[in-house]
Amino acid sequence: MTQRPSLFSPCQIGRFHLSHRERAGPSSVYRYCPRSVGILTSFPFLFVVCLGRRVVLAPVTRCRAIDGIPLPAHVEYYTQRATDGGFLISEGTVISPTGAGFPRCPGIYTREQIDAWKKVVDAVHAKGSIIFCQLWHVGRASNQIYQPGGTAVPISSTDKPVSGRWKILMPDGKYGSFARPRRLAISEIPVIVQHYRQAALNAIEAGFDGVEIHGAHGYLIDQFLKDGINDRTDAYGGSLQNRCRFLMEVTRAVTSAVGPERVAVRLSPAIDHLDAYDSDPRRLGLTVIEQLNALQRESGERLAYLHVTQPRYVAYGQTESGLQGSAEEESQMMRALREAYNGSFMCSGGFTQELAVAAVEQGDADLVSFGRLFISNPDLVERFKLGARLNRYVRATFYTADPVVGYTDYPFLGQQQRARL
């Protein structure tokens, strides 16, 4: 009788070149592991690499960089959360000077940024973990203060601004208004696609094992996908095929540059963050998946994984009372997406250990990413294994500039146990 997978069982998600094997040394990352049991047991990553478990650090914005450059604190933060056989996804990393919409976000478009990220990646690899870089452009979810010269207008699929329902975090820690964006001309879109391609190449140069294209949560790619935002009448608007065009052009450009096995895509078809509504999110998700499957067939290679945020995702500025959709609606839609996608499937969005165990054991996900729980529990994997109590996160420190408080000072389980003696 075949055992059901769990959070600790093997999981394979593509094909992978072990470029850092010699630096990292022996690790469960490099063993081939067929699918078996446990959410905290291993998962064969990219056809030949075995992740030590199905628990993933989600890409969570932390606002600690200076001038877009990761700091020594970033090295500590990521290595705290790295484990032998683990898998981390970086915070959203800006692909170009026009892509920022948060204070102190890192980028991957200058030599200084690449070199700084290399220090992070090397330290993570030394602990035996794999790390992907999330490629991010916020589009209209910005303000002139974050744009080149502090005066440029943010770009988008539309010229409609984010509504007053939402506020943008400003450099002084207060909340302000989003700027009215400028609609991209068709002639400008290939330039943005090239920015994604170059950012992917830069990430690989920095040593990242792959990249995740951020196509979710109301940011630039999502602004093309969702009909609640995209009001274009050209080849990038109107029909579902047209609204998917920008995402697919970006994905093709990135996969051609670094290889499909090093590329993942993140989607959130049912999330209305930053007014990113769609009239038929299920159909949108299935249409994107159909096109990603076709891309995989054309190349003969699978993407690394598809990462989908569930409707219970809670955005910054929201509370748990604002969760979207019923549990049954959520599970039906996610199961349909899971069944449609030909490849490894990662879920995120307010998961507890119990919910993650259920998702993996029921076959609804191959991997589960955790954001807030990983923020406050750098040793989350160990706590899950032991059934230990979790640290509570402090939301007020999520986006502050302090390189220690709320960033690298959450206690490890061993520290707490010694303190009780």
Angle between helices 111-126 and 72-80 (to 10 degrees): 30
Instruction: Give the Cβ contact number of residue 48 at 10 Å.
Output: 16
Determine contact, residues 58/370, Cβ cutoff 8 Å: yes
Q: What is the rounded (10 degree) CA torsion for 92, 136, 250, 260?
A: -10
**Rounded distance between C-alpha atoms, residue 320 and residue 282, angstroms:** 23
CA distances from 125 to 20, 108, 120, 385 (A): 7, 19, 9, 22
Determine contact, residues 43/257, Cβ cutoff 8 Å: no
Give me the sign of the Cα torsion angle 271, 277, 280, 283: negative
Instruction: Give the Cβ contact number of residue 183 at 10 Å.
Output: 14
Q: Which residues are catalytic?
A: 219
Identity at 363, one-letter amino acid code: G
CA distances from 320 to 8, 166, 323, 350 (A): 28, 16, 6, 9
Instruction: At 91, give phi and psi (nearest 5°).
Output: -60, 160
Determine contact, residues 242/264, Cβ cutoff 8 Å: no
Alpha carbons within 13 A on the beta-carbon side of 116:
20
CA distances from 298 to 135, 256, 295, 421 (A): 23, 12, 5, 60
3-state secondary structure of 304: coil
Helix (H) or strand (E) holding 210: strand 210-214
Question: Cβ contacts of residue 233 below 8 Å, gap of 6+?
Answer: none
The rounded radius of gyration (Å) of the Cα atoms in the chain is: 20
180 is written with which tokens? Answer: 């009215």
Residue 396 per-residue DSSP state: G
**Rounded distance between C-alpha atoms, residue 282 and residue 197, angstroms:** 28
